[in-house]
Amino acid sequence: KLKERQERQERPPVGRPDEAGRFPVLRKASPAGTAPWLLPATPSAAAITADEAVLGGLQLRAASVSGPSHRSRGVPRQDAYRIGQDSAGGHLVVAVADGMSDSEHSDVGAVAAVIALVNTLRELLDRGVPLQRINVREVFLAAARQMYGAAEQRGWTADEVRAVALAAVIPARPDPDGVRRCWLGAIGDVSAWRLVHRHWERLIGDEKGGLDPSAVAHFLPHDVEHLPYGVVEMGPGEVMALTTDGVADAFALGPDAQQWFAERWRQPPPVGAFLLDVGFEQAQLHDDRTAVVVWCGDTPGTAAKGRQR
C-alpha cells in the first residue's frame, strides 16, 4: 500500500492547464506531438474534421484528428466517422471506423465502411425495421461490399483497405419510461462507452490484450461473422462515446485519465474545445483518434439506470 501511495504521489496530474488553441497534454507531452504536419503524397481526407449537431433531445459532438505518427510522416488520417438520421428524424445513426495501419489504403476503406453502415441502417429504419430486429450481418456485409468495390475500382486488393468499425442507432426521443433503447454493432476494437459517474464503462468493442496489443483478430472486409451487437438502454442525462482506439487507449491510462475526459465531456462542450480534447497529447499514444459523443439531454427523472442486455 505504501508503494501504491508513493506511485500516486509521483505520477503527474492528468491534464495540464490549457493553452489557447493547442492540444491539451494528459500526463507527458510527446515530441512527436509538436513535429511539423506533412502533407500526404496524394490528395486525401482532411487531417482534422469536426461536427456539432442536435436531434430531438440529443446533443452530439464529433471529431477526428490525425495522430502524431501519421501527420509527422505525411500518412493520411485512417480514422473516419459519419453521422446521419433516418428520413423521419426519429433516430441518430452513427458509424466510426479505424483503418488498419498495415493496410496501405485503409483510409479509403474506413470511409467506404462508415458510408455504407450509415446508409444501410437508414434504409432499414425507413422500412420500419425495429431496432431489435436489425440484422447485424446484413449491415456489416453492406460495408464489406462497399469496401471491396472501392478497392476494385482503384485496382487494389481487398487486403489494402482493411478496417474495423462500429455502428450505432440512438432514438432522438426516449420511450415513455424516459429510456432510450439504442442498437450497437461492432467488429474489432472500435468501442462504445457510457459515462458512469467519473469513469467510462465499455459497452461494446474488443479489449486489447495478448503479446501484441495492436493486433486485431477480426476486421472488414474479410470477416462478417464475428459481430457482437445488442441493445443498450440509456437513461435521461446519460452520455455515450463512440471511439477508435486512439481515444480508448487514453481511457486505459487509468482512473485519472478517465476522470479527465469525464469532466471535459460531462456536458456538451463547444465544438472547438471538443476537437482539442480529441487531439490530446500523450507520450507513446500516437495513433489517429476519433470520438463521437452523444448526450441524452432530457431532464433526468425516474427512468431506470441504463444497462446492456
pLDDT tens readout for residues 250-274: 988 888 899 999 999 999 999 999 9
Q: Is residue 10 part of a domain?
A: no
Q: Is residue 4 one of the residues assigned to a domain?
A: no
Task: Assess whether pLDDT exceeds 90 at residue 5.
Answer: no
**What mean pLDDT do residues 107-114 have?**
98
Assigned domain for 71 exists: yes
What's the rounded mean pLDDT across residues 25-33? 84
Query: Above 70 in pLDDT, residue 309?
Result: no
What string of H, E and C letters represents the secondary structure of 139-179?
Answer: HHHHHHHHHHHHHHHCCCCHHHHCEEEEEEEEECCCCCCCC
**pLDDT at position 12, please?**
45
Does 258 reside within a domain? Answer: yes
pLDDT of residue 304 exceeding 60, the answer is: no
pLDDT at 184 over 90: yes
d(CA 202, CA 162) in angstroms, rounded, equals: 24
Residue 110 dihedral angles phi and psi, to the nearest 5°: -65, -40
Residue 11 inside a domain? The answer is: no
Q: Distance between alpha carbon 26 and the CA centroid of its chain, in Å? A: 19
Which three three-digit cell numbers place residue 32? 512527436
pLDDT for residue 17? 54
Identify the domain containing residue 162 by its residue range. Answer: 21-296
pLDDT digits (tens, 9 = 90+) for 33-67: 888 999 999 999 999 999 999 999 999 999 999 99
What phi and psi values does residue 303 have, to the nearest 5 degrees? Answer: -60, 150
> Rounded CA gap, 233 and 213, in Å?
30
Q: pLDDT tier at 302 (50, 70, 90 boundaries)?
A: very low
Q: CB count, 10 Å around CB of 195? A: 20
pLDDT for 16 equals: 57
d(CA 143, CA 297) in angstroms, rounded, equals 31
Q: Where do runs of H (alpha helix) occur along the chain?
A: 2-10, 68-71, 106-126, 136-153, 245-251, 255-264, 271-278
In a domain, 308, yes or no: no
In this predicted structure, what is the pLDDT of residue 214?
61
Query: Which three three-digit cell numbers place residue 66?
Result: 490525425
Grid coordinates standing for 144? Answer: 464489406
Q: Which ranges in 214-289 belong to alpha helices (H)?
A: 245-251, 255-264, 271-278
pLDDT at residue number 162: 98
41 inside domain? yes
Q: What is the mean pLDDT of the chain?
A: 89
Q: Is residue 44 part of a domain?
A: yes
Q: What is the DSSP string of 82-105?
A: EEEE-TTS-EEEEEEEEE-TTSTT
| Confidence check: pLDDT of 123 > 60 | yes
Residue type for position 134:
I
Residue 151 has pLDDT above 50, yes or no: yes
pLDDT (0 to 100) of residue 285:
84
What is the count of structural domains for the chain?
1
CATH number of the structural domain spanning residue 176: 3.60.40.10
The confidence band for 72, taking pLDDT boundaries of 50, 70 and 90, is: confident
191-240 pLDDT, tens digit each: 999 999 889 999 999 987 654 556 788 999 999 999 999 999 999 999 99
Q: Above pLDDT 90, what percent of the chain?
A: 72
